[in-house]
Amino acid sequence: MNRELGRFGENWAAGALTRAGYRILDRNVRYRQGEIDLVAYDGEELVFVEVKCRRTFAFGRPEESITAARYGRLASAVERYLAERHLSPPSYRVDVIAIQVDGHGRVAQHEHFRGVEAPR
């Protein structure tokens, strides 16, 4: 169920980013130290996107699940991605797309957080 919800959220986020003019490069890049949900270009800026999708707020808002440890794993995955592909973009950022799905399986709320930094 969670994997299915995650896949739905990633597909929805990729579509929303594409409609907003982003170019999706990669999806579900997995490394031992962490994973990257989406990699895209926003103009000339490389963007690594973490997608968080939830059905309820019982355990908090989706974006609240980005802990310092989770961010650290994502940052490690980003560094490996850049190194493996011999990329040295002038700038890149980490974004979070938080999605809440209603009881009918539709997106009820969503928010795009740009340039997210590690929580303290």
65 pLDDT higher than 70: no
Question: Radius of gyration (Cα) for the chain, nearest Å?
Answer: 14
- Specify the pairing of strand 107-113 against strand 45-54: unpaired
Report the predicted TM-score, pTM, of the whole model to 2 decimal places.
Answer: 0.88
What fold is seen in the domain 2-113?
Trna Endonuclease; Chain: A, domain 1 (3.40.1350)
1 pLDDT higher than 70: no
- Specify the pairing of strand 45-54 against strand 92-101: parallel
Domain assignments of the chain as residue spans, ordered by start: 2-113
Residue 114: its pLDDT value, please?
93
Task: Name the amino acid, one letter, at 89.
Answer: P
In this structure, what token pair is assigned to residue 53?
A: 């999708």
In this structure, how many other beta carbons lie within 10 angstroms of the beta carbon of residue 42? 17
120 pLDDT higher than 70: no
